[in-house]
C-alpha cells in the first residue's frame, strides 16, 4: 500500500475545550493523504471520548494511549509510529486555519527537502497577562522569506541574523526518513524541549527551505505551558536543552563563521537557564545538579549559577 503523505502527531492532555478546532482543521485538509496520530497522555477530562468519536467516523485518526508522561514522550511515540512520508506536529489546543498542507507537501517533494519551515500567527484566548501577550503577539511571524534551499546550519544562521529563528516544533514539515535517520528525539519530562529537537534536526539537514505563510494558529491562553511556567521547570528545561545542544555542536563540522553564529543560538538557551535559575533555592539548584553527573553538565550548572548571581 502507498504510504500516507503526512503523519500529523497531536499530543493530547485534557484538551476537550479546544480539541474540536484542532482535529477538524487537520481532517479538513485536501489534496494529501493523512495519518493522524492522537497521543492521549492520560487525559482525565472528556478528551479521550472526543477522540474516540472522531476515530469512529474517520479512519485516518488513530488513538495511542499512554499514562500521563508529558508532550516529549507523546511526540517520541508519534515519531516511532508514523507511517507518513512527512511528519508534522500540532499541539492539541492549536489548529491550522486554512487548507494549506497540500502545497507544502508538493514543494517538499519538488525540491527534495528534508525540512520545510513555515510561519505561525498567535491569537489571544482569555485573560493572558499583558507582558506575555506582547511577547508572543508577533513572535512566530518571521520578518522575511528564506526561499532558497540551503543546508540546515546555514538556515539557522540566516534566520538568527534577522532575529527570525524560531524553534517551535509545529512550524515545519520534516521528511520522516530524515527524522529517523538523524536520531533526533525529544527529552522526556521537560519544557522548552523544542529547542534541542529543532536545533539538532536542522543542524544536520542537507536541504531546508522556508515558506513565508502563516500555516499554524497558536493559542495564547491562561494555564498553558508558556503562560503558567514556574522558574524551577523552566530552569530544568533550559539547562538540559543547553547541555544537549552544546554536545551536538561539538560533533558538527562547519566553518568558524557559521559555528560562531550557531553558538549565539545556543547561548540564548544558556541565557534562559541563567534567568530562570536566579529565582531558585539552593535545594532546587542541587536537584538540577542531580539530573546529569557528566563534567560538562556540572560545569554548565556552575556557570549558570554564577552568572545568575548564585554561588
**What string of pLDDT tens digits covers the 311 residues of the chain?**
689 999 999 999 999 999 999 999 999 999 999 999 999 999 999 999 999 999 999 999 999 999 999 999 999 999 999 999 999 999 999 999 999 999 999 999 999 999 999 999 999 999 999 999 999 999 999 999 999 999 999 999 999 999 999 999 999 999 999 999 999 999 999 999 999 999 999 999 999 999 999 999 999 999 887 777 788 999 999 999 999 999 999 999 999 999 999 999 999 999 999 999 998 998 999 999 999 999 999 999 999 988 766 55
Q: What pLDDT, on the 0 to 100 scale, is given for residue 44? A: 98
Q: Which is it for the CA torsion 159, 163, 167, 172, positive or negative?
A: negative
pLDDT (0 to 100) of residue 62: 98
Q: What is the pLDDT of residue 151?
A: 98
Measure the CA–CA gap between 113 and 283, rounded to whole angstroms: 46
> Which residues neighbour 195 within 8 Å (Cβ) at sequence distance 6 or greater?
167, 238, 241, 245, 269
pLDDT value for 310: 58
Indicate the length of the chain as a whole number.
311
Q: C-alpha distances in angstroms, 279 versus 150, 223, 282, 297? A: 41, 21, 10, 20
Q: C-alpha cell of 302?
A: 556552575
Model-level pTM greater than 0.85?
yes
pLDDT attached to residue 1: 64
Task: Please choose, from the candidates 258, 298, 84, the residue with its C-alpha nearest in 3D space to the C-alpha of residue 179.
Answer: 84
Q: Which residue has the cell 512520508?
A: 85
Amino acid at each position: 500500500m502507498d504510504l500516507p503523505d503526512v503523519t500529523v502527531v497531536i499530543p493530547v492532555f485534557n484538551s476537550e475545550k479546544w480539541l474540536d478546532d484542532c482535529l477538524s482543521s487537520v481532517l479538513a485538509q485536501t489534496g494529501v493523504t493523512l495519518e493522524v496520530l492522537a497521543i492521549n497522555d492520560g487525559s482525565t477530562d472528556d478528551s479521550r471520548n472526543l477522540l474516540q468519536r472522531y476515530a469512529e467516523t474517520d479512519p485516518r485518526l488513530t488513538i495511542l494511549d499512554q499514562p500521563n508522561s508529558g508532550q516529549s514522550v507523546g511526540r517520541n511515540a508519534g515519531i516511532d509510529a508514523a507511517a507518513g512520508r512527512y511528519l508534522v506536529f500540532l499541539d492539541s489546543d492549536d489548529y491550522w486555519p486554512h487548507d494549506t498542507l497540500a502545497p507544502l507537501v508538493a514543494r517538499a517533494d519538488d525540491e527534495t527537502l528534508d525540512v520545510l519551515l513555515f510561519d505561525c500567527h498567535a491569537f489571544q484566548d482569555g485573560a493572558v497577562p499583558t507582558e506575555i501577550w506582547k511577547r508572543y503577539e508577533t513572535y512566530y511571524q518571521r520578518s522575511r522569506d528564506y526561499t532558497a534551499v540551503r543546508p540546515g546550519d546555514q538556515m539557522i544562521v540566516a534566520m538568527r541574523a534577522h532575529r527570525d529563528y524560531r524553534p517551535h516544533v509545529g512550524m515545519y514539515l520534516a521528511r520522516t526518513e530524515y527524522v529517523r535517520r538523524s536520531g533526533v528525539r525529544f527529552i522526556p519530562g521537560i519544557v522548552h524541549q523544542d529547542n534541542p529537537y529543532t536545533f539538532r534536526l536542522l543542524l544536520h539537514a542537507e536541504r531546508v527551505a522556508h515558506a513565508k505563510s502563516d500555516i499554524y494558529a497558536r493559542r495564547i491562553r491562561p494555564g498553558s505551558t508558556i503562560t503558567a511556567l514556574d522558574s524551577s521547570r523552566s530552569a530544568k528545561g533550559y539547562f538540559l536543552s543547553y547541555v544537549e545542544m552544546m554536545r551536538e555542536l561539538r560533533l558538527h563540522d562547519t566553518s568558524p563563521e557559521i559555528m560562531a553564529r550557531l553558538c549565539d543560538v545556543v547561548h540564548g538557551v544558556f541565557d534562559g537557564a541563567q534567568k530562570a535559575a536566579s529565582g531558585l533555592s539552593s535545594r532546587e539548584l542541587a536537584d538540577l545538579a542531580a539530573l546529569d553527573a557528566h563534567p560538562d553538565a556540572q560545569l554548565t550548572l556552575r556557570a549558570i549559577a554564577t552568572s545568575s548571581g548564585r554561588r
